[in-house]
Amino acid sequence: MGRADRGDGVRAQSAVGTKLRWSTPKLIAAANQAVPEAKVRSLPVLAPATVKAGPTTAAADPAPEPTPPAVPVERWSSPDGYQRAIEAHRQTARPSRVDPAIADAVQRQTAAMRELSRRAFPEADVVTDGAPAPIEQARTERRRRAAATEAAALRRARSERAGRAVSDLTPARQAAGEVA
């Protein structure tokens, strides 16, 4: 296949390549009409070529530095009338577009849903502000039991050191409600 029956498209980015692929039939028809002996059958669109950065490439495409303006740029503020109009627009209250009957219905429905939720998921005993929370009550009870156990262990150790019989003290203290 020579160059006569094939036209090489421009190496392009994806958007341009897509556009060329969509318009390929029109381009082929136009090429064959302009040069009847050409007999073009396809127009392949080539992918962009990769360019190695070298000294010639870097020198050929330097990034131009922006030049600072000779005169400082003067910023104009908007006219006073425009500022007043914007401020007046911001201060106006939008009229309510909600029908009062609909708003009342929404409130009734919300109250009914909260009541159903309260019935379905009742709250545990509500703790007053001054009372400790249930978790604190449990911790206090656990500490009290630990302290009672420690006190009983200390009494037992003291009595053993003193040489008394441990079995003699245990029934009397258990009857009094102490933990052994």
Last residue of a domain, one of 28, 49, 70: 49
- How far is it, in rounded angstroms, from Cα 38 to Cα 46? 21
Q: How confident is the model at residue 137 (pLDDT cuts 50, 70, 90)?
A: confident
Q: How many domains does the chain have?
A: 2
Is position 161 within any domain?
yes
Residue 151 within any structural domain of the chain? yes
- Alpha-helical (H) ranges within 35-132 are 55-60, 80-91, 100-120
pLDDT of residue 142: 95
CA distance 73 to 170: 98
Asked if pLDDT for residue 178 goes beyond 70, the answer is: no
Q: Is residue 8 part of a domain?
A: yes
How much is the pLDDT for 136? 85
Where residue 158 falls among pLDDT bands split at 50, 70, 90?
A: very high
- Domain containing 40 equals 3-49
141 located within any domain: yes
156 occurs within a structural domain: yes
**Residue 77: is its pLDDT beyond 50?**
yes
The mean pLDDT value for 150-171 works out to 80
CB within 8 A of 49, min separation 6: which ones?
11
> 1-15, 19-33, 35-49, 73-87: which has the minimum mean pLDDT?
1-15
Does the structure show a pLDDT above 70 at 6? no
Please name the residue that has the structure tokens 């897509």. Answer: 18
The per-residue pLDDT for 60 is 56
Q: Could you tell me which residues come within 8 angstroms of residue 64 by beta carbon, excluding any fewer than 6 positions away?
A: none
Is residue 80 in a domain?
A: no
Confidence bin at 104 (pLDDT 50/70/90): very high
Is residue 158 one of the residues assigned to a domain?
Answer: yes
Please tell me the pTM assigned to this model: 0.23
